């Protein structure tokens, strides 16, 4: 899940709406000032520009008609925005039944171009005019990494604009900890502007804020020292040496907003390999069994059971306070570590467990 660098520069990622000179009246190439561009984006007008991690922009003169997504995260966002009919392919497809409500049925209709990373030839030959990457590198998802990913010139030759979800792809490049969901919200607003679904994007963001604001109101007054410590156990990343959530990963924001203290919030970056001795030294109050979705309720339960059994039986972890007291949260990896609408649901779910009676 770490950002990939091509040719020494950051790959283009989906960012906030271009706001250079906001309020200053500066003109862009189209003659619009920043305020006019923002109004155009909100109304579904074009052109719309989005920025990348380094401030470079990608401009859309019209809504894309054929979109390919790298995985289920980008696909789900487009489905929620009402742009699912324009998705002509995806990689890392969601398991049957894993998406909520009617989104699952819609997702089943999307052609699968790759069960993991989409092969280069399939992507370039897909006929897409937009490719949305959730991560700059897919290695953290259990795939083979980006491998022979198309170069910027190859994307251009195929007529495909290539953008990323900034909240995840730029994680390792941030200079301060991520403690809220503003970057995720910005991605949703930007993606809504690009696809001409801004009104829906605003509703999704408003729904997320309603949930996180309610949690903040309920537990925000809890002193930092009184907040329970929290460890995200990435079971699928391997148990020999734990992969921990650092302070630039969106999960750090989810944990913080829920009123907990990420025990690895002192490590800069998105993820980091640690030792079990490090976990033991921090002795968390709660442990999230962060397994990846297996595609069904029974399969997920089995994976959660396996993760808990490992912690209880392993000599290095069975003495941890959370393990001894059975303080486990069975919440999947995806809604915690991948940018999306369900990040707010996870904040609410964690807070309800850690603060019973305070969060409705």
Task: Using a pLDDT cut of 70, give the percent of the chain over it.
Answer: 84
Q: Are residues 184 and 147 in the same domain?
A: yes
| pLDDT value at 9 more than 60 | no
In this structure, is residue 208 part of a structural domain? no
Per-residue pLDDT, 360: 75
- pTM for the model stands at 0.82
Within-domain flag for 204: no
Residue 207 lies in a domain: no
CATH no. for residue 50?
3.40.50.1980
Could you tell me if 122 and 263 lie in one domain?
Answer: no
Q: Is the predicted pLDDT of residue 65 greater than 80, yes or no?
A: yes
Mean pLDDT of 200-210: 98
Q: Are residues 311 and 191 in the same domain?
A: no
Per-residue pLDDT, 147? 55
State the Cα–Cα distance between residues 60 and 75, nearest whole angstrom.
Answer: 19
Lookup: tokens for 116: 């993991």
Q: Are residues 262 and 171 in the same domain?
A: no
Write out the residue range of the structural domain in which residue 28 sits: 5-196
Tell which wins on pLDDT, 28 or 228: 228
Q: Report pLDDT for 44.
A: 58
Mean pLDDT (the chain, rounded): 84
54 versus 113: the higher-pLDDT residue is 113
Is the pLDDT at 298 greater than 50? The verdict is yes
Query: Within a domain: residue 210?
Result: no
Residue 211 lies in a domain: no
* Buried-exposed string 313-345: b where 16+ CB fall within 10 A, e elsewhere: eeeebeebebbeeebbbbbbbbbbbbbbbbbbb
Please check whether residues 42 and 128 belong to one and the same domain: yes
Give the count of domains, the chain. 2
Do 156 and 18 belong together in one domain?
Answer: yes
- Check whether residue 134 and residue 17 sit in a common domain: yes
31 or 286: which carries more pLDDT confidence? Answer: 286
The reply to whether 187 and 323 lie within a common domain is: no
Question: What burial class does residue 183 get, using C-beta atoms within 10 Å of its C-beta: 0-12 exposed, 13-18 middle, 19+ buried?
Answer: buried
């Amino acid at each position: 899940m770490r950002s990939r660098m091509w040719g020494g520069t950051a790959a283009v990622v989906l960012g906030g709406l271009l706001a250079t000179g906001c309020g200053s009246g500066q003109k862009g190439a189209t003659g619009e000032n920043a305020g006019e561009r923002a109004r155009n984006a909100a109304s579904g007008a074009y052109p719309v520009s989005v920025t990348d991690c380094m401030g470079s922009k990608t401009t859309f003169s019209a809504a894309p008609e054929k979109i390919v997504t790298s995985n289920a995260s980008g696909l789900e966002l487009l489905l929620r925005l009402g742009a699912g009919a324009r998705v002509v392919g995806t990689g890392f497809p969601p398991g049957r039944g894993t998406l909520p409500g009617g989104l699952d049925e819609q997702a089943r209709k999307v052609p699968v171009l790759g069960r993991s990373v989409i092969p280069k030839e399939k992507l370039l030959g897909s006929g897409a005019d937009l490719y949305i990457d959730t991560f700059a590198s897919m290695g953290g998802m259990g795939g083979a990494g980006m491998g022979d990913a198309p170069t910027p010139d190859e994307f251009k030759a195929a007529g495909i604009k290539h953008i990323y979800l900034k909240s995840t792809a730029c994680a390792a490049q941030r200079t301060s900890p991520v403690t809220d969901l503003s970057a995720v919200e910005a991605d949703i607003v930007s993606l809504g502007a690009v696809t001409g679904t801004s009104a829906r994007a605003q509703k999704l963001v408003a729904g997320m804020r309603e949930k996180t604001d309610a949690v903040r109101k309920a537990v925000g007054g809890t002193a930092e020292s009184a907040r329970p410590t929290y460890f995200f156990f990435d079971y699928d990343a391997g148990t020999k040496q734990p992969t921990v959530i650092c302070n630039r990963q969106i999960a750090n924001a989810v944990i913080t907003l829920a009123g907990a203290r990420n025990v690895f919030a002192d490590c800069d970056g998105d993820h980091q390999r640690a030792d079990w001795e490090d976990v033991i030294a921090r002795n968390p109050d709660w442990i999230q069994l962060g397994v990846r979705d297996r595609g069904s309720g029974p399969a997920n339960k089995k994976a959660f059971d396996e993760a808990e059994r490992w912690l209880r039986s392993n000599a290095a972890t069975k003495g941890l306070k959370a393990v001894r007291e059975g303080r486990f949260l069975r919440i999947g990896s995806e809604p915690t570590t991948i940018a999306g609408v369900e990040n707010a649901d996870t904040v609410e779910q964690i807070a309800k467990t850690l603060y019973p009676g305070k969060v409705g």
